[in-house]
Amino acid sequence: MKSLFVTAFAALLSLFSPAHAGELAENPTQNPHLSGSAQVWFFDRYVSDGTVYYADPVIQYQMDVNFALTEEFTLNLAIWESYSLDGGKNFGRETDAIVNLLYKHEEWTLAAGYAYFYALPMDSSVGDVQRWRLSLTSPTTEVCDRISVSDFAEVKYYVPATGKNPERGWIGTIGTNITAEVTDRWSATLTPSLIFDGGPFGNPSQLIPAVSAALNYKVCDHFTVGLNAAKWFPSKGTERDVTVLGLQLSVQF
């Protein structure tokens, strides 16, 4: 299954080869309905929604292709992968195939998506995961010069695809993105949020306050580097103070 996902996605990404990217730069109207991006993160551990899935350093990347179907609808196809730097198993190795349909109207964005999490290799008691996702993002509001705010809300529902685990459950999040354009090249983002953990993966049901921050530097129009930090404050579980630090590289086509 993994090879099928990667092969199909590689065919799509061939549209964004350096030669093709150069053609689009010279003639940006050649294919205005197609865009893409690639991101790489180096994290000191794999954490999502306050749950530590792998406690040692990982490298993660995501590749996206976006098809503008109409002025309001966009289809997004993505591959996300995580690799443990120490070669560990379980959630240290994971491949996700992601499909999203986005609807944008008067600067509001509604997104519905499906993802298949292919864990490789895993303990025999753990299997693949399916996730359904619905999110809503508000228009960006300029609070003052160079500072803008945008609110968001999302619900994710997880179900097992194979194996005994994880347990079914949902996770909901509400939050605010606060972005400061420090200079033409430097920007910073602060995101306070509140997570409603409904108990997937055997997690205890709880409310988790969280905050994340990013400092980004735009090297050129298509390349950005950044530092990331995030902190969660779960009230239940073995860790009551979960922190992750990372480095991010982003390329847009």
DSSP string, 117-138: EEESS--TTB--EEEEEEEEEP
Q: Within the chain, which residues score under 50 in pLDDT? A: 1-6, 8-9, 11-29
- In CATH terms, the fold of domain 2-252 is Porin (2.40.160)
Q: How far apart are CA 118 and CA 129, in angstroms?
A: 7
Q: How many CB atoms lie within 10 A of CB 14?
A: 9
Identity of residue 237: G
Q: What's the pLDDT at 122?
A: 55
Q: Do 165 and 123 contact (CB within 8 A), yes or no?
A: no
Q: How much is the pLDDT for 200?
A: 87
pLDDT in tens, 60-94: 999 999 999 999 999 999 999 999 888 766 666 88
pLDDT of residue 185: 96
pLDDT, residue 199, reads 86
Alpha-carbon dihedral of residues 141, 144, 145, 147, nearest 10 degrees?
-60
Residue 242's CB is within 10 A of a number of other CB atoms, namely 20
Per-residue pLDDT at 96: 94
Question: Which pLDDT score is estimated for 9?
Answer: 47
| 230 backbone dihedrals φ, ψ, rounded to 5° | -145, 150
Per-residue pLDDT at 89: 63
pLDDT at 15: 43
3-state secondary structure of 248: strand
pLDDT at residue 183, rounded to an integer:
95
Instruction: Kindly report the backbone phi and psi dihedral angles of residue 18, in degrees, each rounded to the nearest multiple of 5, phi listed first.
Output: -55, -40
